[in-house]
Amino acid sequence: MPATVTDIAILDDDRIVPFAVEGADVRGRVVRLGPLVNDVLRRHDYPQPVSALLGEALALTALLGSALKFDGIFSLQTKSDGPVSALIADYVSHAKSGSGTLRGYAIYDKDRDFGNADLSFRGLIGAGHFAMTIDQGKQMERYQGIVALEGDSLAACAQAYFQTSEQIPTAIHLAVSQLFERPQGRDAPTATGGAWRAGGMLIQYLPKSRLNLPPDAEFDEPEDWRRSRMLMETATDLELTDPAIASETLLYQLFHEDGVRVFEPQALKFGCRCSRLRLENVLRQYSRETLSELVEDGKISANCEFCNADYHFDMEELVTG
């Protein structure tokens, strides 16, 4: 029996599809996050606006991290003075299998009433900086790029980074939504409890000869790049997150007149690197006196901010175990 559109879309979740617009020196990637992003966000009791921001950060991290051609870690972090003071996400690349693992969390003002807050990107984030880090392992030097948080969206901040720091014309569209099921016999979806979804698309102008423009130089857009960028901008948030629209279908709808080639998809899954053993080894480095200051209710407890797992230790197992 041939696969239906719905079947294809289910297989489309939690993966990245690289592509090229033929003859336009344009390369890109599409990411669709379903169970993965829902799992990450459901592990924390974030207010809706915070969940939406972290969903965008996860989609952006997947788009950027999947460009790694080696085993390494790509990290994205914002640090700012707004109600959402930090977004942290990282992508671990598994080059041999062509896959990656993704995780993330947010730090926010838990006393803030987000129901009456300025829910714009700038209202939630405030002023600060945006950092991207590539860690190639212990034997290689770590690379980090930091720019001010400029723009009215996370996508705009990333675009500004590539334009000023890498001189690579880049366009990014990020989207987050909740998928509600309409109860039988009712006309409206339920107000809460919808599964989270996220999607994103990135395209870059990568001519064979690099542009190497000065940071303050004005980029004179080639017609092919302008057309590709404008076509990408016609994609709606719904098209990027709708489980009934596969990535390949969306790419064909946008770029079929110019010719679009898709490459081998990259699978994604949630992956937290915390473990009881790792934390135990860290705690064993402290003296009994220092550990005694951490004891509460007879236990030393710790929580992983990424996966929200709790770990509990007895003092004696850390000192004499």
Q: Give the pLDDT confidence score for residue 116 in this predicted structure.
A: 82
The pTM assigned to this predicted structure is 0.88
For residues 311 and 137, what is the distance between their CA atoms, to the nearest angstrom? 27
Predicted confidence band at 282 (pLDDT cuts at 50, 70, 90)? confident
CATH number of 276-319: 3.90.1280.10
Predicted confidence band at 51 (pLDDT cuts at 50, 70, 90)? very high
% of the chain surpassing 90 pLDDT = 58
Decide which of 23 and 178 is more confident.
178
What is the tens place of the pLDDT at every residue in 143-173?
A: 899 989 988 999 999 998 888 888 889 999 9
Predicted confidence band at 192 (pLDDT cuts at 50, 70, 90)? very low
Q: State the average pLDDT over residues 180-184.
A: 63
Q: State the average pLDDT over residues 164-190.
A: 77
Domains of the chain, residue spans: 5-270, 276-319
Per this entry, what is the length of the chain?
321
For residues 137 and 134, what is the distance between their CA atoms, to the nearest angstrom? 9
DSSP for 36-92 reads: HHHHHHHTTT--HHHHHHHHHHHHHHHHHHTT--SSEEEEEEEEESSSEEEEEEEEE
For 196, the enclosing helix (H) or strand (E) is strand 195-205
Q: State the average pLDDT over residues 183-207.
A: 76
CATH number of 5-270: 3.55.30.10
For residues 270 and 247, what is the distance between their CA atoms, to the nearest angstrom? 20
pLDDT at 137 over 80: no
Least confident piece of the model among 19-28, 58-67, 108-117, 175-184? 175-184
Decide which of 317 and 50 is more confident.
50
pLDDT at 6 over 90: no
pLDDT at 8 over 80: no
pLDDT at 227 over 60: yes
Mean pLDDT of the chain: 87
Q: State the average pLDDT over residues 221-245.
A: 93
pLDDT at 11 over 70: no
Predicted confidence band at 138 (pLDDT cuts at 50, 70, 90)? confident
pLDDT at 136 over 90: no
Of 284, 306, 317, 274, nearest in space to 86 by CA: 306
